[in-house]
Every structure is written in structure tokens, then in C-alpha cells.
């Protein structure tokens, strides 16, 4: 039997390399917790401590985030977000078939959409000085455009991917946010507004502000979720 404590704890970067832009993978976990109204704490970890045995016992690859809830310890943001969605209302439909479709979009976001985005980031930051950089980047962008074209076609004029907002939208939008500044998302107007629609959700704003406060070290409450004092009903 899972022993659920009052507030789960997630690990986050002590000093996020994204400079507070909310691109680290703890953002999607924070967002999911805010959407379902679950309070949480965070434990910042340094790059050095992430590689030590204590952290690796929770995350064998020395990454973030991890999720601790009583005796339950999880790693991989997709698994964590699905766990949250399955144990709280608000991110998965009641209908079994619709729940399965929402889950498939989580896997599509992580397995089909995110890999070429990450590849693009690696090329941009690690291969820029190579003589073949422009050709390599062009090839990666073309493959990524194909993915975005398919996604754009599937979304069409709908607000969300499959009816009401779900965990599938949360994960897909968070993945697409990594394209900020690339100019690629702007080629697909419906995807651009889709991301903006997700970022306009109150739960997203709370999650974003919480991670930014931790980055700026401007709040003594950065180890607590903003929902702790949130009085409005969840939307």
C-alpha cells in the first residue's frame, strides 16, 4: 500500500541553466501538481550532488526531477506526470477510451515530438563551430518541421488535442515551449496559439512563477508550491 505523505517533494535544479525560463523538466511536474490542486515541496540539488550516490539511488541517470511521496520514489517526468494524473482528478477524462487517448499523447510528446527538439538543441549548443553546422541544422529543422506539420494538422482549429484539456495537452505544450526563439513554432499559427493557450492557464502561471522565484532566490518560500495559499477554485 502506498503511504502518501501530506505533500510530495520534487527535486529541481539548484541553479537552472535556463535562467528561469521554465524549460527544465520539473516545470511539467509543477504544472501538473498545480492543475490538480496538490501542494508540494521542492528540494534544489546542485549539479555535483545530482551525480552522487544519494541522488542516483532515486534517479539512476543523475538528472531531475524526482518525485517522493511517502515510500514512493519516481523518476522521469512523463512517469511522474502520469502518476499525478492517475491519482487526482483534473488531468484525465472519466471515459476509459478518452483516458487512453490522453495517455497516448503523453507518449507522443515524449517519444515523437521532443527527441528532434532536443537534437536541435544539442546541434545548436555543441556543434555550432563545426564546418558542417549549417547543413546539419537545416536537416534537423526539416525533420522537426515534419513533426510540427503533422501535429498542426491533427490539432486543426481545436483548442486542445482531444476534447477538454488533459495531461496530453500539458505534456505536448511543455515540450513545444522548448522551441521558443527558434522561429519554427511561428510557422504554424495554430500551434503557436495552442502553446499560448496553455501558458495562459492559471495553474501554468503559478508553476512558472514558483520556478522563477527559486531561480531568482527572491523568496524564502521557494520550497513550497504557490497553491498553498491559493484561494480560488482550480480551473
Same domain for 13 and 79? yes
Domain of residue 27 covers 9-90+202-229
Q: Cβ distance 91 to 23 under 8 Å?
A: no
Residues 190 and 127 in one domain: yes
pLDDT in tens, 170-193: 999 999 999 999 999 999 999 999
My answer on whether 65 and 128 are in the same domain is no
H-state helical runs in the chain: 26-36, 47-50, 53-56, 77-87, 96-108, 114-126, 133-155, 167-176, 189-199, 202-216
Rounded to an integer, the average pLDDT of 10-18 is 91
* CATH for 71: 3.40.30.10
* CA nearest to 228, candidates 199, 206, 201: 206
Q: Decide if 134 is inside a domain.
A: yes
* pLDDT value of position 76: 97
Query: Rounded to 5, what percent of the chain is helix, strand, coil?
Result: 55, 10, 35
pTM for this prediction: 0.89
Cα angle 102, 225, 117; round to 5: 45
Q: Do 84 and 66 lie in a common domain?
A: yes
pLDDT digits (tens, 9 = 90+) for 78-93: 999 999 999 999 999 9
Domain count of the fold of the chain: 2
- Inside any domain, residue 1: no
| Whether residue 21 is found in the same domain as residue 79 | yes
| Residue 225 belongs to some domain of the structure | yes
Distance CA 158, CA 178 (A): 22
Judge if 55 and 114 occupy the same domain.
no
| pLDDT, tens digit, 9 for 90 and up, residues 108-146 | 999 999 999 999 999 998 998 899 999 999 999 999 999
Amino acid at each position: 500500500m502506498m503511504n502518501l505523505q501530506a505533500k510530495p517533494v520534487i527535486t529541481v535544479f539548484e541553479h537552472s541553466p535556463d535562467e528561469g525560463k521554465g524549460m527544465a523538466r520539473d516545470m511539467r511536474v509543477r504544472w501538473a501538481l498545480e492543475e490538480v490542486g496538490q501542494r508540494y515541496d521542492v528540494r534544489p540539488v546542485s549539479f555535483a550532488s545530482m551525480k552522487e550516490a544519494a541522488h542516483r539511488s532515486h534517479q539512476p541517470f543523475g538528472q531531475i526531477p524526482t518525485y517522493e511521496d511517502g515510500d514512493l520514489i519516481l523518476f522521469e517526468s512523463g512517469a511522474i506526470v502520469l502518476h499525478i494524473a492517475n491519482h487526482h482528478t483534473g488531468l484525465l477524462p472519466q471515459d476509459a477510451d478518452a483516458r487512453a487517448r490522453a495517455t497516448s499523447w503523453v507518449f507522443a510528446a515524449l517519444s515523437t515530438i521532443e527527441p528532434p527538439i532536443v537534437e536541435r538543441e544539442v546541434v545548436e549548443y555543441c556543434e555550432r563551430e563545426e564546418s558542417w553546422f549549417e547543413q546539419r541544422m537545416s536537416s534537423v529543422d526539416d525533420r522537426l518541421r515534419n513533426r510540427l506539420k503533422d501535429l498542426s494538422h491533427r490539432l486543426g482549429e481545436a483548442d486542445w488535442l482531444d476534447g477538454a484539456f488533459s495531461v496530453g495537452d500539458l505534456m505536448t505544450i511543455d515540450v513545444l515551449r522548448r522551441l521558443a526563439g527558434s522561429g519554427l513554432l511561428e510557422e504554424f499559427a495554430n500551434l503557436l496559439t495552442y502553446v499560448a493557450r496553455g501558458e495562459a492557464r492559471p495553474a501554468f502561471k503559478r508553476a512558472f512563477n514558483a520556478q522563477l522565484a527559486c531561480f531568482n532566490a527572491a523568496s524564502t518560500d521557494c520550497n513550497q508550491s504557490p497553491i498553498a495559499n491559493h484561494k480560488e477554485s482550480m480551473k
